[in-house]
Structure 1
Amino acid sequence: MILALTKGYLCPTQPFNGKVHSVFRRSVNIKTDLKETPWVSLLDDTLPATPTAYQCDFRSLQDLTTMVNVGDTVFMRGEIIRLKPPSRLAINTVVATNWQQAPPLPFINKKRVWHNILIAERIFAEYISEKEKQPFISISEYIQYLGLNTPRCIYSLPEQLVENIGRGKGLTPSGDDFLLGVLAVLSYVREAHPDAATTYQRFQIQVPRDISKTTDISAHYLTLALSQHFSKPVQWLVYYLFTATDRLTIETAITTNLLIGSSSGADTIAGIVYCINKLLLS
Protein backbone atom coordinates (compact mmCIF):
# COMPACT_ATOMS: atom_id res chain seq x y z
CA MET A 1 0.00 0.00 0.00
CA ILE A 2 1.23 3.47 -0.94
CA LEU A 3 0.98 6.37 1.51
CA ALA A 4 -0.46 9.72 0.48
CA LEU A 5 1.73 12.34 2.14
CA THR A 6 -0.37 15.45 1.48
CA LYS A 7 -3.84 16.16 0.18
CA GLY A 8 -5.43 19.18 -1.40
CA TYR A 9 -8.03 21.07 0.57
CA LEU A 10 -10.73 20.04 -1.96
CA CYS A 11 -9.91 16.33 -1.84
CA PRO A 12 -12.88 14.16 -0.84
CA THR A 13 -13.09 12.16 2.36
CA GLN A 14 -16.40 10.50 1.46
CA PRO A 15 -16.59 7.27 -0.59
CA PHE A 16 -16.59 7.53 -4.37
CA ASN A 17 -16.49 5.38 -7.49
CA GLY A 18 -14.63 6.35 -10.62
CA LYS A 19 -12.51 5.53 -13.64
CA VAL A 20 -8.93 6.33 -14.57
CA HIS A 21 -9.03 9.24 -17.03
CA SER A 22 -5.31 9.39 -17.81
CA VAL A 23 -2.07 7.96 -16.51
CA PHE A 24 1.52 9.15 -16.74
CA ARG A 25 4.83 7.96 -15.35
CA ARG A 26 4.33 9.74 -12.02
CA SER A 27 0.64 10.64 -11.91
CA VAL A 28 -2.89 9.32 -12.36
CA ASN A 29 -6.02 11.39 -13.02
CA ILE A 30 -9.37 10.00 -11.92
CA LYS A 31 -12.92 10.93 -12.91
CA THR A 32 -15.20 10.39 -9.91
CA ASP A 33 -18.96 10.21 -9.42
CA LEU A 34 -18.87 13.08 -6.91
CA LYS A 35 -20.57 16.31 -7.95
CA GLU A 36 -18.38 18.39 -5.63
CA THR A 37 -15.11 16.75 -6.70
CA PRO A 38 -15.48 15.20 -10.17
CA TRP A 39 -11.72 15.02 -10.68
CA VAL A 40 -9.04 13.67 -8.34
CA SER A 41 -5.33 13.21 -9.03
CA LEU A 42 -2.67 10.97 -7.54
CA LEU A 43 0.70 12.70 -7.89
CA ASP A 44 4.25 11.81 -7.03
CA ASP A 45 5.43 14.04 -4.19
CA THR A 46 7.93 15.70 -6.56
CA LEU A 47 5.02 17.16 -8.55
CA PRO A 48 3.25 20.40 -7.48
CA ALA A 49 0.42 20.08 -4.99
CA THR A 50 -3.04 21.02 -6.27
CA PRO A 51 -6.41 21.49 -4.51
CA THR A 52 -7.78 18.13 -5.76
CA ALA A 53 -4.65 15.97 -5.62
CA TYR A 54 -3.03 13.53 -3.22
CA GLN A 55 0.76 13.69 -3.25
CA CYS A 56 2.09 10.18 -2.81
CA ASP A 57 5.36 8.43 -2.16
CA PHE A 58 5.74 6.68 -5.53
CA ARG A 59 9.49 6.11 -5.20
CA SER A 60 9.00 2.35 -4.94
CA LEU A 61 7.13 2.35 -8.27
CA GLN A 62 9.19 2.92 -11.40
CA ASP A 63 6.46 3.82 -13.89
CA LEU A 64 2.72 4.05 -13.22
CA THR A 65 1.93 3.51 -16.92
CA THR A 66 3.06 -0.10 -16.53
CA MET A 67 0.61 -0.62 -13.66
CA VAL A 68 -2.47 1.47 -14.46
CA ASN A 69 -4.59 1.76 -17.61
CA VAL A 70 -7.06 4.35 -18.81
CA GLY A 71 -10.55 3.14 -17.92
CA ASP A 72 -9.48 1.09 -14.89
CA THR A 73 -12.03 1.00 -12.09
CA VAL A 74 -11.29 3.15 -9.03
CA PHE A 75 -13.09 3.41 -5.72
CA MET A 76 -12.51 5.00 -2.32
CA ARG A 77 -13.73 3.48 0.92
CA GLY A 78 -12.54 4.31 4.42
CA GLU A 79 -10.17 6.91 2.90
CA ILE A 80 -8.34 4.15 0.97
CA ILE A 81 -8.27 4.61 -2.82
CA ARG A 82 -8.07 1.33 -4.72
CA LEU A 83 -7.48 0.78 -8.43
CA LYS A 84 -8.46 -2.54 -10.00
CA PRO A 85 -7.95 -4.52 -12.12
CA PRO A 86 -5.19 -5.32 -13.04
CA SER A 87 -2.96 -3.19 -10.82
CA ARG A 88 -4.65 -3.57 -7.44
CA LEU A 89 -2.83 -0.39 -6.45
CA ALA A 90 -4.01 1.04 -3.13
CA ILE A 91 -3.43 4.54 -1.76
CA ASN A 92 -3.85 5.18 1.97
CA THR A 93 -4.97 8.81 2.42
CA VAL A 94 -5.77 8.58 6.15
CA VAL A 95 -2.54 10.17 7.37
CA ALA A 96 -2.21 12.68 4.51
CA THR A 97 -1.90 16.27 5.73
CA ASN A 98 -3.36 19.36 4.12
CA TRP A 99 -0.76 21.51 2.40
CA GLN A 100 -0.53 25.11 3.55
CA GLN A 101 -2.37 27.71 1.48
CA ALA A 102 -1.06 31.23 0.98
CA PRO A 103 -2.57 33.75 3.44
CA PRO A 104 -4.86 36.60 2.34
CA LEU A 105 -3.34 39.80 1.00
CA PRO A 106 -3.23 42.39 3.82
CA PHE A 107 -2.75 45.41 1.53
CA ILE A 108 -1.08 46.41 -1.73
CA ASN A 109 2.27 48.17 -1.53
CA LYS A 110 2.88 49.25 -5.13
CA LYS A 111 6.52 50.13 -4.55
CA ARG A 112 7.23 46.69 -3.15
CA VAL A 113 5.32 44.99 -5.96
CA TRP A 114 7.22 46.97 -8.58
CA HIS A 115 10.54 45.98 -7.01
CA ASN A 116 9.56 42.30 -6.83
CA ILE A 117 8.32 42.24 -10.42
CA LEU A 118 11.67 43.60 -11.62
CA ILE A 119 13.44 40.77 -9.80
CA ALA A 120 11.02 38.19 -11.21
CA GLU A 121 11.47 39.45 -14.78
CA ARG A 122 15.27 39.25 -14.56
CA ILE A 123 15.21 35.69 -13.25
CA PHE A 124 12.58 34.68 -15.79
CA ALA A 125 14.38 36.24 -18.77
CA GLU A 126 17.66 34.56 -17.86
CA TYR A 127 15.98 31.16 -17.56
CA ILE A 128 13.95 31.43 -20.77
CA SER A 129 16.87 32.77 -22.79
CA GLU A 130 18.93 29.75 -21.85
CA LYS A 131 16.09 27.29 -22.37
CA GLU A 132 14.96 28.62 -25.75
CA LYS A 133 18.49 29.40 -26.94
CA GLN A 134 17.61 32.98 -27.86
CA PRO A 135 17.71 36.25 -25.93
CA PHE A 136 14.67 37.51 -23.99
CA ILE A 137 14.85 40.70 -21.96
CA SER A 138 11.26 40.77 -20.70
CA ILE A 139 8.19 38.66 -20.13
CA SER A 140 6.39 40.77 -22.75
CA GLU A 141 8.81 39.41 -25.36
CA TYR A 142 8.08 35.88 -24.20
CA ILE A 143 4.33 36.46 -24.51
CA GLN A 144 4.85 37.66 -28.09
CA TYR A 145 7.01 34.59 -28.73
CA LEU A 146 4.09 32.39 -27.62
CA GLY A 147 1.79 34.24 -30.03
CA LEU A 148 -0.83 35.04 -27.38
CA ASN A 149 -3.52 37.71 -27.63
CA THR A 150 -3.31 40.36 -24.91
CA PRO A 151 -5.33 43.59 -24.61
CA ARG A 152 -3.58 46.86 -23.85
CA CYS A 153 -5.97 47.44 -20.98
CA ILE A 154 -7.05 44.37 -19.04
CA TYR A 155 -10.12 46.21 -17.74
CA SER A 156 -11.51 47.22 -21.14
CA LEU A 157 -11.36 43.90 -22.98
CA PRO A 158 -10.45 40.97 -20.72
CA GLU A 159 -12.41 38.66 -23.00
CA GLN A 160 -9.56 38.95 -25.52
CA LEU A 161 -7.45 36.83 -23.19
CA VAL A 162 -10.06 34.05 -23.34
CA GLU A 163 -9.25 33.67 -27.04
CA ASN A 164 -6.00 32.03 -25.91
CA ILE A 165 -7.76 28.97 -24.50
CA GLY A 166 -6.45 25.86 -26.22
CA ARG A 167 -3.63 27.75 -27.93
CA GLY A 168 -0.36 25.83 -27.81
CA LYS A 169 0.63 22.21 -27.35
CA GLY A 170 0.64 19.81 -24.45
CA LEU A 171 -1.70 18.61 -21.72
CA THR A 172 -2.14 22.20 -20.58
CA PRO A 173 -1.62 24.51 -23.59
CA SER A 174 0.38 27.70 -23.17
CA GLY A 175 -2.68 29.92 -23.60
CA ASP A 176 -4.46 28.12 -20.77
CA ASP A 177 -1.50 28.31 -18.39
CA PHE A 178 -1.09 32.01 -19.18
CA LEU A 179 -4.78 32.64 -18.47
CA LEU A 180 -4.52 30.65 -15.25
CA GLY A 181 -1.76 33.02 -14.11
CA VAL A 182 -3.96 36.01 -14.88
CA LEU A 183 -6.85 34.50 -12.92
CA ALA A 184 -4.55 33.74 -9.96
CA VAL A 185 -3.68 37.43 -9.61
CA LEU A 186 -7.24 38.70 -10.10
CA SER A 187 -8.56 36.21 -7.58
CA TYR A 188 -5.90 37.07 -5.01
CA VAL A 189 -6.29 40.87 -5.10
CA ARG A 190 -10.05 41.04 -5.68
CA GLU A 191 -10.78 42.17 -2.09
CA ALA A 192 -8.16 44.92 -2.19
CA HIS A 193 -8.75 46.05 -5.77
CA PRO A 194 -12.38 46.59 -6.93
CA ASP A 195 -11.46 46.62 -10.64
CA ALA A 196 -9.81 43.23 -10.22
CA ALA A 197 -13.03 41.80 -8.77
CA THR A 198 -15.09 43.10 -11.69
CA THR A 199 -12.61 41.78 -14.26
CA TYR A 200 -12.48 38.39 -12.55
CA GLN A 201 -16.26 38.18 -12.70
CA ARG A 202 -16.18 38.81 -16.44
CA PHE A 203 -13.82 35.86 -16.84
CA GLN A 204 -16.20 33.71 -14.78
CA ILE A 205 -18.86 34.39 -17.40
CA GLN A 206 -16.74 34.07 -20.56
CA VAL A 207 -14.31 31.21 -19.85
CA PRO A 208 -16.99 28.47 -19.47
CA ARG A 209 -18.24 29.35 -22.96
CA ASP A 210 -14.84 28.55 -24.50
CA ILE A 211 -13.52 25.88 -22.17
CA SER A 212 -14.45 23.04 -24.54
CA LYS A 213 -11.63 24.23 -26.84
CA THR A 214 -8.97 22.75 -24.58
CA THR A 215 -7.99 19.43 -22.99
CA ASP A 216 -9.89 17.79 -20.13
CA ILE A 217 -6.96 18.27 -17.76
CA SER A 218 -6.54 21.93 -18.61
CA ALA A 219 -10.30 22.53 -18.40
CA HIS A 220 -10.23 21.07 -14.89
CA TYR A 221 -7.57 23.52 -13.72
CA LEU A 222 -9.29 26.48 -15.39
CA THR A 223 -12.58 25.51 -13.74
CA LEU A 224 -10.86 25.44 -10.35
CA ALA A 225 -9.32 28.85 -11.10
CA LEU A 226 -12.77 30.32 -11.74
CA SER A 227 -13.65 29.31 -8.17
CA GLN A 228 -10.43 30.83 -6.77
CA HIS A 229 -8.53 27.57 -6.40
CA PHE A 230 -4.90 27.28 -7.54
CA SER A 231 -1.92 25.00 -7.03
CA LYS A 232 0.40 25.53 -4.08
CA PRO A 233 3.34 26.95 -6.12
CA VAL A 234 1.09 29.43 -7.95
CA GLN A 235 -0.60 30.62 -4.76
CA TRP A 236 2.67 31.25 -3.00
CA LEU A 237 4.34 32.94 -5.97
CA VAL A 238 1.51 35.46 -6.24
CA TYR A 239 1.65 36.03 -2.48
CA TYR A 240 5.42 36.61 -2.49
CA LEU A 241 5.31 38.98 -5.46
CA PHE A 242 3.04 41.19 -3.36
CA THR A 243 4.71 40.76 0.03
CA ALA A 244 8.34 39.53 -0.15
CA THR A 245 11.09 41.84 1.07
CA ASP A 246 14.13 39.90 -0.19
CA ARG A 247 15.39 38.57 -3.53
CA LEU A 248 15.94 34.99 -2.35
CA THR A 249 12.25 34.49 -1.57
CA ILE A 250 11.26 35.67 -5.05
CA GLU A 251 13.98 33.62 -6.71
CA THR A 252 12.93 30.45 -4.89
CA ALA A 253 9.25 30.90 -5.76
CA ILE A 254 10.01 31.68 -9.43
CA THR A 255 12.36 28.70 -9.74
CA THR A 256 9.81 26.35 -8.17
CA ASN A 257 7.23 27.37 -10.77
CA LEU A 258 9.66 27.32 -13.71
CA LEU A 259 10.32 23.64 -13.04
CA ILE A 260 6.64 22.70 -13.50
CA GLY A 261 6.05 20.78 -16.71
CA SER A 262 7.81 21.47 -19.99
CA SER A 263 6.66 25.09 -20.14
CA SER A 264 3.55 25.24 -17.94
CA GLY A 265 5.33 26.97 -15.08
CA ALA A 266 6.91 29.58 -17.33
CA ASP A 267 3.63 30.25 -19.13
CA THR A 268 1.78 30.67 -15.82
CA ILE A 269 4.45 33.06 -14.52
CA ALA A 270 4.06 35.08 -17.72
CA GLY A 271 0.33 35.42 -17.01
CA ILE A 272 0.95 36.40 -13.40
CA VAL A 273 3.49 39.11 -14.23
CA TYR A 274 1.45 40.37 -17.20
CA CYS A 275 -1.64 40.74 -15.00
CA ILE A 276 0.20 42.50 -12.17
CA ASN A 277 1.75 44.93 -14.64
CA LYS A 278 -1.59 45.72 -16.27
CA LEU A 279 -3.46 45.85 -13.00
CA LEU A 280 -1.14 47.99 -10.92
CA LEU A 281 1.97 49.16 -12.73
CA SER A 282 0.94 50.31 -16.22
Structure 2
Amino acid sequence: MAIVTLAAQSTGYLAATRRPKSAHVHSCFAHAINLIADDGHLFTLLAADIYQNLPDAVRVTLPAGWDWRQQAMRGEAVQLIAGQWQAPRWQVDLSKAVVWQPRLNGSSLSLNALPEALQHYETLASQLLLYCLEHQVESDLLWASSPMNKDESKHRRAPYELPEQLENQVVKLIGYGKGLTPDGDDYLLGYLAALSPWQLTPELQAHQTRLQLLIEQHLPRTTDISRHYLSRALEGHFSQPICAMQEQLTSQAPAAMVIHAAEQVMQFGASSGVDCLAGMLHGLRSLKATL
Protein backbone atom coordinates (compact mmCIF):
# COMPACT_ATOMS: atom_id res chain seq x y z
CA MET A 1 0.00 0.00 0.00
CA ALA A 2 1.35 3.44 -0.98
CA ILE A 3 1.98 5.91 1.79
CA VAL A 4 -0.19 9.04 1.50
CA THR A 5 1.67 12.34 1.91
CA LEU A 6 -0.34 15.06 3.65
CA ALA A 7 0.70 18.72 3.54
CA ALA A 8 0.75 20.72 6.77
CA GLN A 9 -0.78 24.19 6.32
CA SER A 10 -0.02 25.72 9.71
CA THR A 11 1.46 24.75 13.02
CA GLY A 12 0.92 26.11 16.50
CA TYR A 13 3.82 28.00 18.03
CA LEU A 14 4.45 25.26 20.61
CA ALA A 15 4.27 22.46 18.06
CA ALA A 16 6.77 24.35 15.90
CA THR A 17 9.44 24.19 18.61
CA ARG A 18 8.53 21.00 20.48
CA ARG A 19 8.14 18.43 17.70
CA PRO A 20 8.67 14.98 19.18
CA LYS A 21 11.08 12.68 17.35
CA SER A 22 8.89 9.73 18.24
CA ALA A 23 5.28 9.38 19.34
CA HIS A 24 2.35 7.00 19.34
CA VAL A 25 -1.26 7.43 18.29
CA HIS A 26 -3.28 8.31 21.37
CA SER A 27 -6.78 8.70 19.88
CA CYS A 28 -8.43 9.01 16.47
CA PHE A 29 -11.48 10.94 15.32
CA ALA A 30 -12.88 11.60 11.85
CA HIS A 31 -11.05 14.91 11.34
CA ALA A 32 -8.39 14.87 14.06
CA ILE A 33 -5.79 12.57 15.54
CA ASN A 34 -3.89 12.94 18.81
CA LEU A 35 -0.30 11.79 19.12
CA ILE A 36 1.37 11.31 22.49
CA ALA A 37 5.10 11.89 22.74
CA ASP A 38 7.45 9.91 24.96
CA ASP A 39 7.35 12.74 27.53
CA GLY A 40 3.56 12.46 27.78
CA HIS A 41 2.69 15.64 25.86
CA LEU A 42 -0.10 15.51 23.28
CA PHE A 43 0.28 16.76 19.72
CA THR A 44 -2.72 16.98 17.41
CA LEU A 45 -3.20 16.80 13.64
CA LEU A 46 -6.31 18.74 12.61
CA ALA A 47 -8.26 18.94 9.34
CA ALA A 48 -7.31 22.39 8.00
CA ASP A 49 -10.74 23.04 6.48
CA ILE A 50 -12.57 22.44 9.76
CA TYR A 51 -10.38 23.50 12.68
CA GLN A 52 -8.47 26.61 13.66
CA ASN A 53 -5.05 26.47 15.31
CA LEU A 54 -4.06 25.08 18.69
CA PRO A 55 -0.69 25.74 20.33
CA ASP A 56 0.28 22.06 20.11
CA ALA A 57 -1.44 21.22 16.81
CA VAL A 58 -0.67 21.04 13.11
CA ARG A 59 -3.42 21.79 10.60
CA VAL A 60 -3.27 19.40 7.64
CA THR A 61 -4.94 19.32 4.24
CA LEU A 62 -6.80 16.00 4.05
CA PRO A 63 -8.00 14.19 0.91
CA ALA A 64 -11.74 14.00 0.28
CA GLY A 65 -13.35 11.33 2.44
CA TRP A 66 -10.32 10.98 4.71
CA ASP A 67 -11.20 9.55 8.13
CA TRP A 68 -8.41 9.21 10.68
CA ARG A 69 -10.23 6.30 12.33
CA GLN A 70 -9.63 4.30 9.15
CA GLN A 71 -6.04 5.44 8.64
CA ALA A 72 -4.45 4.99 12.06
CA MET A 73 -4.68 2.76 15.11
CA ARG A 74 -4.26 3.52 18.79
CA GLY A 75 -0.69 2.78 19.86
CA GLU A 76 0.70 2.97 16.33
CA ALA A 77 4.21 4.45 16.15
CA VAL A 78 4.91 7.81 14.47
CA GLN A 79 8.45 9.04 13.77
CA LEU A 80 9.79 12.49 12.86
CA ILE A 81 12.21 11.88 9.98
CA ALA A 82 13.66 14.62 7.73
CA GLY A 83 10.92 17.11 8.55
CA GLN A 84 8.06 14.64 8.18
CA TRP A 85 5.92 12.75 10.65
CA GLN A 86 5.83 9.22 9.29
CA ALA A 87 3.40 6.41 10.08
CA PRO A 88 2.70 3.08 8.35
CA ARG A 89 -0.02 4.45 6.01
CA TRP A 90 0.62 8.21 5.92
CA GLN A 91 3.17 10.94 6.43
CA VAL A 92 2.85 14.68 7.09
CA ASP A 93 5.16 17.08 5.31
CA LEU A 94 5.87 19.96 7.72
CA SER A 95 8.20 21.93 5.45
CA LYS A 96 5.71 24.58 4.25
CA ALA A 97 3.65 25.02 7.39
CA VAL A 98 3.35 28.61 8.60
CA VAL A 99 3.60 29.21 12.35
CA TRP A 100 0.54 30.56 14.15
CA GLN A 101 1.38 32.91 17.03
CA PRO A 102 -1.35 34.80 18.98
CA ARG A 103 -0.88 38.55 19.29
CA LEU A 104 -1.47 38.67 23.06
CA ASN A 105 0.74 35.74 23.99
CA GLY A 106 2.55 36.72 27.19
CA SER A 107 0.96 40.18 27.28
CA SER A 108 -0.03 41.93 30.49
CA LEU A 109 -2.55 44.69 29.87
CA SER A 110 -3.41 47.53 32.21
CA LEU A 111 -6.78 47.32 33.92
CA ASN A 112 -7.34 50.89 32.74
CA ALA A 113 -8.54 49.34 29.48
CA LEU A 114 -10.95 46.97 31.24
CA PRO A 115 -14.07 49.21 31.00
CA GLU A 116 -13.84 49.07 27.21
CA ALA A 117 -13.80 45.28 27.32
CA LEU A 118 -16.68 45.14 29.81
CA GLN A 119 -18.94 47.19 27.54
CA HIS A 120 -19.41 44.01 25.47
CA TYR A 121 -20.46 41.88 28.45
CA GLU A 122 -24.26 42.12 28.08
CA THR A 123 -24.06 41.52 24.34
CA LEU A 124 -21.98 38.39 24.86
CA ALA A 125 -24.26 37.10 27.62
CA SER A 126 -27.29 37.52 25.36
CA GLN A 127 -25.46 35.92 22.46
CA LEU A 128 -24.56 32.92 24.61
CA LEU A 129 -28.19 32.41 25.61
CA LEU A 130 -29.47 32.72 22.04
CA TYR A 131 -26.84 30.33 20.71
CA CYS A 132 -27.80 27.68 23.28
CA LEU A 133 -31.49 28.04 22.43
CA GLU A 134 -30.90 27.94 18.68
CA HIS A 135 -28.59 24.93 18.75
CA GLN A 136 -30.24 23.17 21.71
CA VAL A 137 -26.94 23.01 23.55
CA GLU A 138 -26.96 20.96 26.74
CA SER A 139 -24.37 21.36 29.47
CA ASP A 140 -24.08 19.62 32.81
CA LEU A 141 -23.37 23.05 34.31
CA LEU A 142 -25.88 25.68 35.32
CA TRP A 143 -24.25 29.03 34.60
CA ALA A 144 -25.85 32.47 34.73
CA SER A 145 -27.35 32.43 31.22
CA SER A 146 -28.31 28.74 31.03
CA PRO A 147 -31.76 28.50 29.38
CA MET A 148 -33.32 25.99 31.81
CA ASN A 149 -36.38 25.72 33.95
CA LYS A 150 -36.23 25.07 37.69
CA ASP A 151 -36.66 21.31 37.39
CA GLU A 152 -33.81 21.02 34.90
CA SER A 153 -31.53 23.21 37.00
CA LYS A 154 -31.81 20.81 39.95
CA HIS A 155 -29.73 18.28 38.01
CA ARG A 156 -26.99 20.73 36.97
CA ARG A 157 -23.99 21.93 38.94
CA ALA A 158 -23.76 25.71 39.29
CA PRO A 159 -20.29 27.32 39.43
CA TYR A 160 -20.08 29.55 42.49
CA GLU A 161 -19.86 33.23 41.77
CA LEU A 162 -17.36 34.68 44.24
CA PRO A 163 -13.67 33.99 43.54
CA GLU A 164 -13.07 32.29 46.89
CA GLN A 165 -16.17 30.12 46.41
CA LEU A 166 -15.01 29.09 42.94
CA GLU A 167 -11.65 28.04 44.37
CA ASN A 168 -13.39 25.81 46.90
CA GLN A 169 -15.41 24.22 44.08
CA VAL A 170 -12.47 23.24 41.86
CA VAL A 171 -12.37 19.65 43.09
CA LYS A 172 -16.03 19.24 42.08
CA LEU A 173 -15.72 21.00 38.73
CA ILE A 174 -12.69 19.23 37.27
CA GLY A 175 -13.81 16.18 35.33
CA TYR A 176 -17.49 17.08 35.87
CA GLY A 177 -19.72 16.52 32.87
CA LYS A 178 -19.77 14.57 29.63
CA GLY A 179 -17.36 14.31 26.73
CA LEU A 180 -13.64 14.30 26.03
CA THR A 181 -13.37 17.69 27.72
CA PRO A 182 -15.95 17.73 30.54
CA ASP A 183 -18.10 20.81 31.08
CA GLY A 184 -16.45 21.81 34.34
CA ASP A 185 -13.00 21.77 32.74
CA ASP A 186 -14.13 23.92 29.82
CA TYR A 187 -15.68 26.43 32.21
CA LEU A 188 -12.48 26.72 34.27
CA LEU A 189 -10.42 27.06 31.09
CA GLY A 190 -12.60 29.97 29.96
CA TYR A 191 -12.29 31.59 33.39
CA LEU A 192 -8.49 31.35 33.21
CA ALA A 193 -8.56 32.79 29.69
CA ALA A 194 -10.52 35.84 30.85
CA LEU A 195 -7.97 36.67 33.57
CA SER A 196 -4.90 35.80 31.51
CA PRO A 197 -4.22 39.03 29.53
CA TRP A 198 -4.49 41.50 32.43
CA GLN A 199 -2.25 43.05 35.07
CA LEU A 200 -4.32 41.89 38.02
CA THR A 201 -4.75 43.59 41.36
CA PRO A 202 -2.86 41.91 44.22
CA GLU A 203 -6.10 40.35 45.50
CA LEU A 204 -7.09 38.96 42.11
CA GLN A 205 -3.53 37.86 41.42
CA ALA A 206 -3.58 35.87 44.65
CA HIS A 207 -6.92 34.34 43.64
CA GLN A 208 -5.56 33.40 40.20
CA THR A 209 -2.50 31.76 41.80
CA ARG A 210 -4.58 29.76 44.27
CA LEU A 211 -6.99 28.70 41.52
CA GLN A 212 -4.15 27.57 39.27
CA LEU A 213 -2.54 25.54 42.05
CA LEU A 214 -5.84 23.83 42.86
CA ILE A 215 -6.52 23.00 39.20
CA GLU A 216 -3.01 21.59 38.78
CA GLN A 217 -3.41 19.51 41.93
CA HIS A 218 -6.65 17.93 40.71
CA LEU A 219 -5.79 17.41 37.02
CA PRO A 220 -5.64 13.61 37.47
CA ARG A 221 -9.42 13.69 37.99
CA THR A 222 -10.14 14.38 34.32
CA THR A 223 -9.46 12.89 30.87
CA ASP A 224 -6.09 12.86 29.10
CA ILE A 225 -7.20 15.34 26.45
CA SER A 226 -8.85 17.74 28.88
CA ARG A 227 -5.88 17.50 31.23
CA HIS A 228 -3.65 18.56 28.32
CA TYR A 229 -5.79 21.62 27.49
CA LEU A 230 -6.04 22.68 31.14
CA SER A 231 -2.29 22.25 31.62
CA ARG A 232 -1.67 24.52 28.65
CA ALA A 233 -4.19 27.05 30.00
CA LEU A 234 -2.30 27.13 33.31
CA GLU A 235 0.77 28.12 31.27
CA GLY A 236 -1.20 30.81 29.40
CA HIS A 237 -1.68 28.90 26.13
CA PHE A 238 -5.11 28.81 24.48
CA SER A 239 -6.72 27.89 21.16
CA GLN A 240 -6.93 30.35 18.27
CA PRO A 241 -10.67 31.08 18.79
CA ILE A 242 -10.07 31.89 22.47
CA CYS A 243 -7.03 34.02 21.64
CA ALA A 244 -9.06 35.89 19.03
CA MET A 245 -11.74 36.51 21.64
CA GLN A 246 -9.13 37.90 24.02
CA GLU A 247 -7.72 40.13 21.28
CA GLN A 248 -11.10 41.56 20.29
CA LEU A 249 -12.09 42.29 23.88
CA THR A 250 -8.83 44.12 24.59
CA SER A 251 -8.42 46.09 21.35
CA GLN A 252 -11.41 48.45 21.20
CA ALA A 253 -12.89 46.27 18.46
CA PRO A 254 -16.41 47.02 17.21
CA ALA A 255 -19.22 44.90 18.60
CA ALA A 256 -19.63 42.96 15.34
CA MET A 257 -16.07 41.64 15.56
CA VAL A 258 -16.47 40.66 19.21
CA ILE A 259 -19.70 38.83 18.36
CA HIS A 260 -18.00 36.99 15.51
CA ALA A 261 -15.15 35.95 17.80
CA ALA A 262 -17.64 34.64 20.37
CA GLU A 263 -19.40 32.61 17.67
CA GLN A 264 -16.08 30.97 16.81
CA VAL A 265 -15.54 30.02 20.46
CA MET A 266 -19.05 28.59 20.90
CA GLN A 267 -18.85 26.43 17.77
CA PHE A 268 -16.15 24.24 19.31
CA GLY A 269 -17.55 20.85 20.34
CA ALA A 270 -21.05 19.98 21.46
CA SER A 271 -20.96 22.07 24.64
CA SER A 272 -17.27 22.85 25.17
CA GLY A 273 -17.44 26.22 23.46
CA VAL A 274 -20.48 27.51 25.34
CA ASP A 275 -19.04 26.34 28.66
CA CYS A 276 -15.79 28.10 27.82
CA LEU A 277 -17.55 31.37 26.94
CA ALA A 278 -19.63 31.12 30.11
CA GLY A 279 -16.38 30.77 32.06
CA MET A 280 -14.93 33.79 30.28
CA LEU A 281 -17.97 35.84 31.24
CA HIS A 282 -17.52 34.75 34.85
CA GLY A 283 -13.91 35.89 34.65
CA LEU A 284 -15.03 39.26 33.32
CA ARG A 285 -17.38 39.60 36.29
CA SER A 286 -14.48 38.90 38.65
CA LEU A 287 -12.42 41.53 36.84
CA LYS A 288 -15.27 44.04 37.00
CA ALA A 289 -15.45 43.64 40.78
CA THR A 290 -11.92 45.08 41.02
CA LEU A 291 -12.92 48.44 39.49
TM-score, L = length of structure 2 = 0.85
Q: For residue 205 of structure 1, report the CA deviation from its aligned partner.
A: 1.6
Mean Cα displacement is larger for which, 236-245 or 62-71?
236-245
Question: What residue number does 2:278 align with?
Answer: 270
Q: 1:77/1:183 Cα in 2 relative to 1: closer, same or farther (>3 Å)?
A: same
Question: What residue number does 1:172 align with?
Answer: 181
Question: What residue number does 2:70 align with?
Answer: 66
Structure 2 distance, partners of 1:6, 1:29, is 16
User: Residue 191 of structure 2 is aligned with which of 182, 185, 191?
Assistant: 182
User: Residue 204 of structure 2 is aligned with which of 189, 196, 220?
Assistant: 196
Question: What residue number does 1:223 align with?
Answer: 231
* Sequence identity (%): 26
Amino acid at match of 2:225: I
Contact persistence 2:12–2:101 (CA under 8 A): no
Structure 2 distance, partners of 1:8, 1:195, is 33
Deviation per residue, 1:6-35 (Å, 9 max, x gap)? 111111465511110000000110111247
Question: What residue number does 2:93 align with?
Answer: 92
Can you give the 5+ residue segments of structure 1 that lack an aligned partner in the other structure? none
Amino acid at match of 2:29: F
Can you give the 5+ residue segments of structure 2 that lack an aligned partner in the other structure? none
Q: For residue 211 of structure 1, report the CA deviation from its aligned partner.
A: 1.1
Q: Secondary structure at the match of 2:180?
A: coil
Structure 1 distance, partners of 2:229, 2:147, is 21
Q: 1:262/1:181 Cα in 2 relative to 1: closer, same or farther (>3 Å)?
A: same
Q: 1:59/1:264 Cα in 2 relative to 1: closer, same or farther (>3 Å)?
A: farther
Question: What residue number does 2:162 align with?
Answer: 153
Q: Secondary structure at the match of 1:261?
A: coil
Q: Report how many residues are paired.
A: 273
Question: What residue number does 1:205 align with?
Answer: 213
Mean Cα displacement is larger for which, 203-212 or 249-258?
203-212
Amino acid at match of 2:43: V
Q: 1:149/1:83 Cα in 2 relative to 1: closer, same or farther (>3 Å)?
A: same
Contact persistence 1:14–1:77 (CA under 8 A): no
Superposed CA RMSD in Å reads 2.4
Q: Secondary structure at the match of 1:56?
A: strand
Q: 1:198/1:147 Cα in 2 relative to 1: closer, same or farther (>3 Å)?
A: same
